[in-house]
């Protein structure tokens, strides 16, 4: 292990951009999403620790974005959709009234990337999807601490991210990787035998592949323990999310795939575990609440008091662990495969999945059809040739092909079902 590259995320190393006295300046990307709104709740409860200087969002909830901007008194607001700027300006004017100047507004596909490179201490990337890659790279290149909730940017651009990130510059915000991050602080890298990533099992735990054939969108969105956005919730139902997290764990901690295990833990109390070479296992456990991992991402190496609820140990509870059913949920095995292939293969896997999830949410693809189509796209892509010479154009080209091919397969499935 000593000759392998250093891990991207190491709790023993702290990357600390030069900061002045007072609260830590933070930029939040994806402000109106699940991660963003919970991060803002945490910031508002800890004004002595954090100060938000800028917010970005896609632009679908301008009223909420304007309210957030006003409550935080940010300098800049960014939206990806240029067509919503008039509505955003009107919403901001309604919040601020006539007595205060409005924040600067940035708009367009590159707006979030501009914010990621702006003057601050920490960038929280809470964007969903691989569109978060450019902001991730911009934050790292600008020398900001990156609180990374956008796992897709690391997965599709692994070598690019690793080339830019300095030791300790990335703090993971996924609950599983924040758990591993904290547990790894108990030992040295050479002490680690195995990473154990936990999965709730989603709403369909215990069902066979045949029993999943007719599940509905409503069924798939009914996650038993976590409240998340629709894409992540569907990814949790297919366990694609867990496959992505296996790749992310490999990239963050430089642990080989054969030493990263997935176990099903329905209660979602234990967020992940590290098994050490002496036989001991350290588990990080809290009630399901993303404000804890967000607080680690924004505050590390300090902990934020009362960031999230703690357990009531006077109340009896049962914690269960089960092996993963790889037949009903082949996504984790496929993710390991594309992770080992590296190059553009993870980008193809992720992009095809995003298209297929969208098709499922629109009723254009059955639940089992998501992984069937993604698997076919990955197989057709074959072995990538880019290897360690991956570039951003490589990623974009591979994603464009994967999305187009996934749409073709989705259309073929819809046509076949219509004829049946």
Average pLDDT over residues 6-20: 86
pLDDT at site 94? 95
pLDDT at position 2, please?
37
Asked if residue 108 belongs to a domain, the reply is no
What confidence score (pLDDT) does residue 419 get?
A: 58
Q: Above 80 in pLDDT, residue 6?
A: no
Residue 310 within any structural domain of the chain: yes
Annotated binding-site residue numbers for NADPH: 32-35, 150, 152, 229
Does the residue 411 lie in any domain?
yes
Residue 313 lies in a domain: yes
Burial 79-101 (b: 16+ CB within 10 A, else e): bbbeebbeebeebbeebbeeeee
Q: Using the structure block, give the residue that is written with the tokens 């991207």.
A: 8
Question: Are residues 123 and 145 in contact, defined by beta-carbon separation less than 8 angstroms?
Answer: yes
pLDDT at 378 over 80: yes
- Residue positions forming the annotated binding site for 1-deoxy-D-xylulose 5-phosphate: 151, 175-176, 200, 223, 236, 241-242, 245
On whether residue 160 sits in a domain, the answer given is no
Q: Which has the closest alpha carbon to 369: 189, 177, 238?
A: 238
Measured distance CA(120)–CA(124) in Å, rounded = 11
What are the tokens at 374? 């993604």
Q: What are phi and psi of 284, to 5 degrees?
A: -105, 125
Structure tokens at 231: 């894409």
Neighbours of 2 (CB within 10 A): 5
3-state secondary structure string across the chain: CCCCCCCCCCCCCCCCCCCCCCCEEEEEECCCCHHHHHHHHHHHCCCCCEEEEEEEECCCCHHHHHHHHHHHCCCEEEECCHHHHHHHHHHHHHHHCCCCCCCEEEECCCHHHHHHCCCCCEEEECCCCHHHHHHHHHHHHCCCEEEECCHHHHHHCHHHHHHHCCCCCEEECCHHHHHHHHHHCCCCHHHEEEEEEEECCHHHCCCCCHHHCCCCHHHHHCCCCCCCCHHHHHHHHHCHHHHHHHHHHHHHHCCCHHHEEEEECCCCCEEEEEEECCCCEEEEECCCCCHHHHHHHHHCCCCCCCCCCCCCCCCCCCCCCEECCCCCCCHHHHHHHHHHHCCCHHHHHHHHHHHHHHHHHCCCCCHHHHHHHHHHHHHHHCCCCCHHHCCHHHHHHHHHHHHHHHHHHHHHHHHHHHHC
Residue 210 lies in a domain: yes
Closest to 187 in 3D by CA, of 255, 261, 289: 255
Give the mean model confidence (pLDDT) for residues 182-197.
96
| Mean pLDDT value across residues 69-86 | 97
Mean pLDDT taken over the chain: 93
Q: Is the pLDDT of residue 189 over 80?
A: yes
Structural domain includes residue 218: yes
Instruction: List, for residues 262-277, the tens digit of each pLDDT value.
Output: 999 999 999 999 999 9
Q: What is the model's pLDDT at position 385?
A: 60
Domain count of the chain? 1
**What's residue 19's pLDDT?**
64
Look at 110 and 100; give whichever has higher pLDDT.
Answer: 110
| 349 class by beta-carbon count within 10 Å (0-12 exposed, 13-18 middle, 19+ buried) | buried
Taking 70 as the threshold, does the pLDDT of residue 4 lie above it?
A: no
Residues annotated within a binding site for Mn(2+): 174, 176, 245
Q: Which domain holds residue 197?
A: 177-419
Q: How far is CA 208 from the centre of its chain?
A: 27
Does 182 fall in a domain?
yes
Residue 147: what pLDDT? 98
Res 182 pLDDT > 50: yes
Contact 63, 91 (CB under 8 A): yes
Residue 413, pLDDT above cutoff 90: no
pLDDT digits 0-9 by tens, 213-255: 999 999 999 887 777 778 888 998 999 999 999 999 999 999 9
Given this model, what pLDDT does residue 232 score? 84
**Interval 332-349 mean pLDDT:** 95
Rounded mean pLDDT, 29-45:
96
Annotated binding site: 32-35, 150-152, 174-176, 200, 223, 229, 236, 241-242, 245
Q: What is the CATH number of the domain that holds 198?
A: 1.10.1740.10
């Amino acid at each position: 292990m000593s000759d392998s590259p250093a891990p991207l995320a190491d709790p023993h190393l702290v990357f600390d951009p030069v900061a002045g006295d007072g609260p830590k300046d933070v930029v939040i990307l994806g402000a109106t999403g699940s991660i963003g709104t919970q991060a803002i709740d945490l910031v508002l409860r800890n004004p002595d620790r954090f100060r938000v200087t800028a917010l970005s969002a896609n632009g679908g909830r301008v009223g909420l974005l304007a309210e957030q901007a006003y409550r935080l008194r940010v300098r800049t607001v960014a939206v990806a959709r240029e067509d919503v700027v008039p509505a955003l300006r009107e919403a901001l004017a309604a919040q601020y009234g006539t007595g205060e100047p409005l924040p600067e507004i940035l708009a367009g596909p590159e707006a979030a990337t501009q914010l990621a490179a702006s003057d601050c201490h920490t960038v929280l990337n809470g964007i969903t999807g691989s569109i978060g890659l450019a902001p991730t790279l911009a934050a790292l290149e600008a020398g900001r601490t990156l609180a990374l909730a956008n796992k897709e940017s690391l997965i599709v651009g692994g070598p690019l991210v690793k080339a830019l990130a300095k030791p300790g510059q990335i703090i993971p915000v996924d609950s599983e990787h924040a758990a591993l991050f904290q547990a790894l602080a108990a030992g040295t890298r050479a002490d680690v035998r195995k990473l154990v990533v936990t999965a709730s099992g989603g709403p369909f735990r215990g069902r066979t592949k045949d029993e999943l054939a007719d599940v509905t969108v409503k069924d798939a969105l009914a996650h038993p323990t976590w409240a998340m956005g629709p894409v992540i919730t569907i990814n949790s139902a297919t366990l694609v999310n867990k496959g992505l997290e296996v790749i992310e764990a490999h990239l963050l901690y430089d642990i080989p795939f054969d030493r990263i295990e997935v176990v099903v833990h329905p209660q979602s109390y234990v967020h992940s575990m590290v098994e050490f070479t002496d036989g001991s296992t350290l588990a990080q456990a809290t009630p399901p609440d993303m404000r804890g991992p967000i607080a680690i991402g924004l505050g590390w190496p300090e902990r934020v008091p009362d960031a999230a609820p703690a357990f009531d140990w006077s109340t009896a509870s049962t914690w269960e662990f089960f092996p993963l059913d790889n037949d009903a949920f082949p996504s984790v095995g496929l993710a390991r495969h594309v992770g080992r292939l590296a190059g553009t293969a993870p980008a193809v896997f992720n992009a095809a999945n995003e298209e297929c999830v969208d098709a499922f949410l629109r009723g254009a693809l059955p639940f089992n059809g998501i992984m069937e189509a993604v698997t076919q796209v990955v197989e057709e892509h074959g072995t990538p040739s880019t290897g360690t010479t991956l570039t951003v154009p490589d990623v974009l080209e591979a994603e464009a092909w994967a999305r187009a091919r996934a749409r073709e397969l989705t259309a073929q499935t819809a046509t076949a079902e219509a004829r049946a």
